[in-house]
């Protein structure tokens, strides 16, 4: 039986925030991140469901507003639909915003791929008194429709029925498959369609109707598609004639005429099938928006929200962090008691428990920070933040659309860099990607917190926030400079939809936080652990016989004699202007691979030899050890925090930059951040020493 199973390829497509990922999860049982902002689904995802002997293979596409392919998301979705030719498109429609969502639906229809409509968010529509007759709407448009609630998995069976129906062609009357643009435009389309259909193998690949309409819209991609044909010139001439006629008669750009016709058609369809039961007189979203989007209040509120996020993170995080430090200290004493003195004890106590343990104890901070950012995103505040910051970002040559990728950068640069895909212009995208690493990420947090707590114990949280603030300021100034120099150009106008405020779903948030925490844990357990053991090895070998010296100077002599000591002395001159002695230089250099390693390296460097005393382990003793080093002082600590903030991001982030915008820009980023990081560190140290 199973080898005769029928396979149906289904693409889930629609506007951003219509609920595609929620439906995808409900259909396939997957747990992908749902989000309130375009760009969350940056790649396509696949999953399957089997019902009545049919295997449905679903692909979750990024959200788009049209098939015009201005942004990467649109290109991904369009190429998938055209090149992979799924058997069915499930168009996920936001029922509370039906007319706008149907616009894309009509473009799908012209592709000639069978469509089933998911009237999603039907719970919200009902609550708002919008009553959609799915049957009538389906018949008017020639598209079988089912009402769904993606978050609760309601209407899934009906939707699968509609997929079957559209495949069988039962609910679809052929004549109504295409939008009727009205007599005059149809008269222009007909000869174009005919000319395109002349090449049978070509029109099997690309729907002639779709291509004809695209040519009327002066779509560049459609023109390129024709390039391979011998009659391309004739078709393009025909299209130019049609466009000229339209523009002369309507007195507007042809693409505007076409879209007006589409909207007219949609209004007609909606009129027949949608009833507004009661006019909603009070909307919580509107009420909240009156405040958070107020032209005077929006920015202060945004700053206050960000400030609270950090304040809550540090205040709440301090407790579990202290417990973890105690736990690791206890484990260290245990290991010291159990393992006889020697390399094995030193490896376990200094490298594994001291180094990696230091990184682990920051997990509570990371969890809380991600949790709060996820809530902001889920309730819909991030889109408001884009509006709130639009004006100020304009002053730096950016616009509000960059704010979401930038905020994600506080968590991790990798997804943040990918989220920049939603930016329409390539130039804006490159600028945004280049400045994201200045948004201090979760891996830099341990470095800042450790140094701030060691050297600014009274004002630790304020120091960390100051560093974050400097990062934001640097990103803005860099954007301004880049926009004035290598990436000159005007900001592209953008239209962004404001999704309604929604209660966050606990499941979604927990998944999000877990995903990020697990990533951090895995890193600490693999990359960071390996690197730390390596650093332990180069600080331990070659072994130096320090007999005759007292224990403190013996430890120091051993360390200076080790490979790390020699390397450190070798690179020390480069870091002299920043006030770093060789140990700090070694630690700061390890940050190039991943920022957490700075902490674990300091842990190893400052406790080699200390394992003979049974002093408490964990970050607390590391703080004491740092403070006791005469070469380390608040000024050096501040220079090191700045240096760590500004130097190029970790290898994973660099690889992402390369993948997104190429070698050239990655190289530029490395050069730019290296010189800026070194320069700022040096200026701070030199000026600070004078004062």
Contact residues toward ligand GDP (CB under 6 A) are: 16-22, 34-36, 41, 63, 120-121, 123-124, 149-151, 378, 502, 505
Secondary structure of 321-354 in the HEC alphabet?
HHHHHHHHHHHHHHHHHHCCCCHHHHHHHHHHHH
Contact residue for Mg ion among 15, 21, 122, 178 (CB under 5 A): 21
For ligand GDP, the closer of residues 151 and 644 by Cβ is 151
The entry of ligand GDP, Mg ion, none near residue 161 (CB within 5 to 8 angstroms by kind) is none
User: What does each C-alpha distance from 575 to 252, 272, 566, 579, 641 come to in angstroms?
Assistant: 63, 74, 15, 7, 14
The entry of ligand GDP, Mg ion, none near residue 349 (CB within 5 to 8 angstroms by kind) is none
Q: With CB under 5 A as the contact rule, which of the stretches 36-44, 140-148, 244-252, 454-462 interacts with Mg ion? A: 36-44
Q: With CB under 5 A as the contact rule, which of the stretches 15-23, 82-90, 239-247, 457-465 interacts with Mg ion? A: 15-23
Q: How many CA atoms lie within 13 A of 113 on its CB side?
A: 28
For ligand GDP, the closer of residues 32 and 558 by Cβ is 32
Q: How far is the CB of 123 from ligand GDP (least distance, A)?
A: 5
The entry of ligand GDP, Mg ion, none near residue 273 (CB within 5 to 8 angstroms by kind) is none
Q: How far is the CB of 309 from Mg ion (least distance, A)?
A: 24
528 DSSP 8-state letter: I
Q: With CB under 5 A as the contact rule, which of the stretches 40-48, 418-426, 506-514, 654-662 interacts with Mg ion? A: 40-48
Q: How far is the CB of 20 from Mg ion (least distance, A)?
A: 5
Distance CA 562, CA 54 (A): 66
Q: What distance lies between CA 28 and its chain's CA centroid?
A: 23
* Residues ≥6 apart with Cβ < 8 Å to 110: 178, 179, 207, 209, 210, 213
Q: How far is the CB of 670 from ligand GDP (least distance, A)?
A: 34
Specify the residue for token string 């740092």: 626
CB atoms within 10 A of CB 283: 12
Q: How far is the CB of 15 from ligand GDP (least distance, A)?
A: 7
Q: What are phi and psi of 120, to 5 degrees?
A: -85, 170
Distance CA 198, CA 208 (A): 10
Secondary structure of 194-214 in the HEC alphabet?
HHHHCCHHHHHHCCHHHHHHH
Q: How far is the CB of 243 from Mg ion (least distance, A)?
A: 35
Alpha helices in 62-143 (DSSP H): 72-83, 98-110, 122-127, 134-141
Q: With CB under 5 A as the contact rule, which of the stretches 20-28, 47-55, 206-214, 456-464 interacts with Mg ion? A: 20-28
Q: How far is the CB of 511 from ligand GDP (least distance, A)?
A: 11
Distance CA 241, CA 235 (A): 10
The entry of Mg ion, ligand GDP, none near residue 352 (CB within 5 to 8 angstroms by kind) is none
Q: With CB under 5 A as the contact rule, which of the stretches 19-27, 314-322, 412-420, 462-470 interacts with Mg ion? A: 19-27
Q: With CB under 5 A as the contact rule, which of the stretches 13-21, 226-234, 303-311, 610-618 interacts with Mg ion? A: 13-21
Q: How far is the CB of 41 from Mg ion (least distance, A)?
A: 3
| 479 close to 431: Cβ distance less than 8 angstroms | yes
Q: How far is the CB of 63 from ligand GDP (least distance, A)?
A: 5
530 DSSP 8-state letter: H
Q: What are phi and psi of 613, to 5 degrees?
A: -90, 155
Q: How far is the CB of 618 from ligand GDP (least distance, A)?
A: 40
The entry of ligand GDP, Mg ion, none near residue 475 (CB within 5 to 8 angstroms by kind) is none
Query: Residue 401 interacts with Mg ion (CB under 5 A)?
Result: no
Contacts (CB under 5 A) with Mg ion, residues 163-182: none
For Mg ion, the closer of residues 41 and 178 by Cβ is 41
For ligand GDP, the closer of residues 95 and 207 by Cβ is 95
Q: Residue 23: which H helix or E strand, with range?
A: helix 20-28
Q: With CB under 5 A as the contact rule, which of the stretches 18-26, 263-271, 357-365, 394-402 interacts with Mg ion? A: 18-26
Q: What distance lies between CA 166 and its chain's CA centroid?
A: 35
Query: Residue 313 interacts with Mg ion (CB under 5 A)?
Result: no
Q: How far is the CB of 373 from Mg ion (least distance, A)?
A: 17
The entry of Mg ion, ligand GDP, none near residue 378 (CB within 5 to 8 angstroms by kind) is ligand GDP
Tell me if residue 275 falls in helix, strand or coil. Answer: strand
For Mg ion, the closer of residues 60 and 199 by Cβ is 60
Q: How far apart are the first and last CA of the chain?
A: 83
Residues 492-517 as b/e (b if ≥16 CB within 10 A, e otherwise) read eebebeebbbeebeeebbebbbeebb
The entry of Mg ion, ligand GDP, none near residue 505 (CB within 5 to 8 angstroms by kind) is ligand GDP
Query: Residue 41 interacts with Mg ion (CB under 5 A)?
Result: yes
Residues making contact with Mg ion (CB under 5 A): 20-21, 41
């Amino acid at each position: 039986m199973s080898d005769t199973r029928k396979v149906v390829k289904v693409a889930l497509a629609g506007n951003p925030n219509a609920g595609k990922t929620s439906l995808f999860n409900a259909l396939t049982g997957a747990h992908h991140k749902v989000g309130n902002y375009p760009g969350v689904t940056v790649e396509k995802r696949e999953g399957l469901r089997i019902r009545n002997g049919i295997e449905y293979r679903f692909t979750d596409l990024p959200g788009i507003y049209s098939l015009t392919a201005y942004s990467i998301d649109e290109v991904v979705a369009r190429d998938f639909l055209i090149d992979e030719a799924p058997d069915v498109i499930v168009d996920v429609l936001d029922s509370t915003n039906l007319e706008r969502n149907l616009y894309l639906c009509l473009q799908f229809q012209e592709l000639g791929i069978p469509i089933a409509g998911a009237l999603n968010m039907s719970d919200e529509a009902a609550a708002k008194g919008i009553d959609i007759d799915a049957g009538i709407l389906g018949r008017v448009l020639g598209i079988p429709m089912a009402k769904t609630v993606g978050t609760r998995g309601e209407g899934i069976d009906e939707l699968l029925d509609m997929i079957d129906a559209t495949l069988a062609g039962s609910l679809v009357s052929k004549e109504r498959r295409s939008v009727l643009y009205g007599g005059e435009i149809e008269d222009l389309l007909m000869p174009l369609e005919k000319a395109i259909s002349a090449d049978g193998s070509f029109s099997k690949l690309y729907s002639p109707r779709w291509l004809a309409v695209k040519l009327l819209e002066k779509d560049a991609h459609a023109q390129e598609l024709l390039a391979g044909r011998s009659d391309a010139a004739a078709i393009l001439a025909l299209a130019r004639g049609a466009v000229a006629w339209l523009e002369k008669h309507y007195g507007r750009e042809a693409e505007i005429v076409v879209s007006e016709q589409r909207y007219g058609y949609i209004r007609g369809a909606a009129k027949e099938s949608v009833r507004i039961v009661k006019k909603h007189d009070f909307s919580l979203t509107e009420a909240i928006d009156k405040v958070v989007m107020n032209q005077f209040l929006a920015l202060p509120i945004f700053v206050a929200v960000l400030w609270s996020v950090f304040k809550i993170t540090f205040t709440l995080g301090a407790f579990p962090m202290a417990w973890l430090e105690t736990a690791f200290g206890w484990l260290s004493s245990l290991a010291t008691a159990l393992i006889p003195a020697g390399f094995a004890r030193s490896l376990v106590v200094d490298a594994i428990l001291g180094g990696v343990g230091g990184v682990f104890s920051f997990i509570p901070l990371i969890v809380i920070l991600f949790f709060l950012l996820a809530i902001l995103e889920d309730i819909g505040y991030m889109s408001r933040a884009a509006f709130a910051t639009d004006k100020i970002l304009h002053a730096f040559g950016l616009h509000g659309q960059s704010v979401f990728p930038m905020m994600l950068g506080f968590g991790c640069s990798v997804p943040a860099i990918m989220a920049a895909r939603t930016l329409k212009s390539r130039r804006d995208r490159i600028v945004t990607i280049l400045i994201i690493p200045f948004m201090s990420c979760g891996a830099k947090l341990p470095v800042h917190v450790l140094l701030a707590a060691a050297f600014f114990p009274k004002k630790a949280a304020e120091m960390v926030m100051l560093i974050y603030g400097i990062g934001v300021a640097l990103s803005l100034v860099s954007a301004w400079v880049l926009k004035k120099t290598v990436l000159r150009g005007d900001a592209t106008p953008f239209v962004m939809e404001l999704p309604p405020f929604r209660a966050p779903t606990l499941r979604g948030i927990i998944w999000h936080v877990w995903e990020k925490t697990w990533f951090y844990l895995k890193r600490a357990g693999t990359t960071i652990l390996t690197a730390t053991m390596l650093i332990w090895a180069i600080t331990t070998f070659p072994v130096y016989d320090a007999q005759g010296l007292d224990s403190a100077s013996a430890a120091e002599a051993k360390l200076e004699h080790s490979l790390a000591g020699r390397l450190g002395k070798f690179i020390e001159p480069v870091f002299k202007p920043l006030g770093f002695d060789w140990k700090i230089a070694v630690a700061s250099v390890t940050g190039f691979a991943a920022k957490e390693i700075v902490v674990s390296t300091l842990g190893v460097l400052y406790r080699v030899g200390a394992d003979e005393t049974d002093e408490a382990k964990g970050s607390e003793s590391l703080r004491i050890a740092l403070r006791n080093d005469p070469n380390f002082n608040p000024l050096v600590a501040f220079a090191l925090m700045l240096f760590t903030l500004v130097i190029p991001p970790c290898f994973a982030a660099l690889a992402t930059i390369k993948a997104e915008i190429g070698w050239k820009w990655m190289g530029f980023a490395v050069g730019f951040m290296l010189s800026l990081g070194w320069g700022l560190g040096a200026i701070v140290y030199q000026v600070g020493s004078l004062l």
